[in-house]
Amino acid sequence: MRPEFQDIVDDVSRILGGPATLEDRDFNLIAFCSQHAAQIDQIRQQSILERHSTDAVRALFEQFGIATSEQPVRVPAMPESGVLPRLCLPARWNGVTYGYVWLLDENPDHDAAQEQSALALAERAGALLAQQVRVREELDFKLQDVLSPEPEIAEIAAADIDDRGIIARGVPVAAVELRLATQGAAQPVPMNLWSLPRSVLAWAGDEHTTLVVPLHGQDLGPARAVAERARELYAERLPPGAQVDVVAGIGAPRPDLSEARGSWQEARLASQAAQSVSALRPVAVWPELGVYRLLACGPQAALSSAVLDHSVHRLLDCGDDDLVHTAATYLDTGGNVHAVAEALRIHRQTVYHRLQRIEQVTGLTLSRGQDRLVLHLGLTMAPLIGGPGGPNGHGAGR
């Protein structure tokens, strides 16, 4: 957060004599001054504790015309909802509202001159917010250039970002890719990317968010921390409890920003793996993916042809999910029948019966290492490369 925002909130609170906050136009909290429990209501409390307000709260206040007003707007008390009266100072710049300065105003004793002084401060906040939006938009395009397949374009963009003092040349970076694990769901984009560290480059698309994070050497710790914070920002746009649906992939470090494309490609594959394999969630890291790195080996059709042996197809197509899960569990546990029986809560004789049936269906001999490898690899990769009939997340991804 820019320190000017906190100064503005403190000055408004001093001028008007009440606890103030600053939110952006999407009702994400930016700054707030000291609040006394007796002076705040549930909406203010939620805003401070959760760093944002709900869509319902936004709709409640926007009905008073705050999004288009050029002057202070008084919002009356709503006792039935436990809402205290408020004074809203639109934070505008060049005719556009970028946020709001809010003052709980239960017993107003300030005059018009004080309100205008406070409104001038809100306009200053609007100018700063507009500047942040422009910078983010410019860096959005710069990041897309950094990730260009053309080395010359990536080099120019990296030099420009260095000149801006965002990420210096020679500083290692890693890419982070976020998406929803649930196929076909609405894909929200976190609107408050300003709350990420200034040194993090962000590109918010319709179905994903891409970040590039500076590192300390080869340590991916900063990228993991940013991935978790970005997941929280995504979750703010989702129904309660839906954060578990947000997955992230992290690529391996690269020594310079101009080489970030390679990390980005790895991060995309890692996020796709996390999307399909529940055991890899919520954050899949490319250097830790093991066999899932096969996703990078070529077109999906070619990989499917190479990995999904006819024996694997027969098992996936047989229509018996119990056999598929038993085979995957047997292979995951290194052929430990006792462990399979415990994991699936069935008798060991049932396990032996199913294993015999698996051999009949596939034509494989599970006592042979090569046959086990073929089946294990196929069952592990099927959810990621369009295997027929394969349940989402079976095998190692269960």
pLDDT computed for residue 133 by the predictor: 78
**Can you tell me the mean pLDDT for 193-206?**
81
- For 80-136, the pLDDT digits (tens) are 878 889 999 999 999 999 999 999 876 667 788 999 999 999 999 999 988 877 777
pLDDT computed for residue 392 by the predictor: 38
pLDDT computed for residue 299 by the predictor: 74
Q: Is 79 exposed, middle or buried (CB count within 10 Å of its CB: 0-12, 13-18, 19+)?
A: exposed
pLDDT computed for residue 290 by the predictor: 85
pLDDT computed for residue 396 by the predictor: 39
Long-range (24+ apart) CB contacts under 8 A made by 152-160 are: 154/258, 154/259, 154/260, 154/261, 155/258, 157/258, 158/256, 158/257, 158/258
What the block records as the tokens of 69 is: 């007003």
Please give the single-letter amino acid code of residue 357. R
Contact 90, 69 (CB under 8 A): yes
**Can you tell me the mean pLDDT for 293-316?**
82
pLDDT tops 80 at residue 175: yes
What the block records as the tokens of 372 is: 């086990």
**Can you tell me the mean pLDDT for 274-297?**
85
pLDDT computed for residue 190 by the predictor: 57
pLDDT band at 244 (very low <50, low <70, confident <90, very high): low
pLDDT computed for residue 384 by the predictor: 77
pLDDT tops 80 at residue 317: yes
pLDDT computed for residue 163 by the predictor: 93
pLDDT computed for residue 391 by the predictor: 37
Q: What percent of the chain has pLDDT over 90?
A: 56
pLDDT computed for residue 111 by the predictor: 83
> For tokens 């710049």, what's the residue?
93
pLDDT tops 90 at residue 355: yes
Distance CA 68, CA 88 (A): 12
Residue 382's closest CA among 358, 398, 363?
A: 398
Mean pLDDT across the chain, nearest whole number?
86
pLDDT computed for residue 389 by the predictor: 43
- For 2-59, the pLDDT digits (tens) are 789 999 999 999 999 888 999 998 888 899 988 776 678 888 888 888 777 888 898 9
Better pLDDT: 357 or 79: 357
pLDDT computed for residue 398 by the predictor: 37
pLDDT tops 50 at residue 235: yes
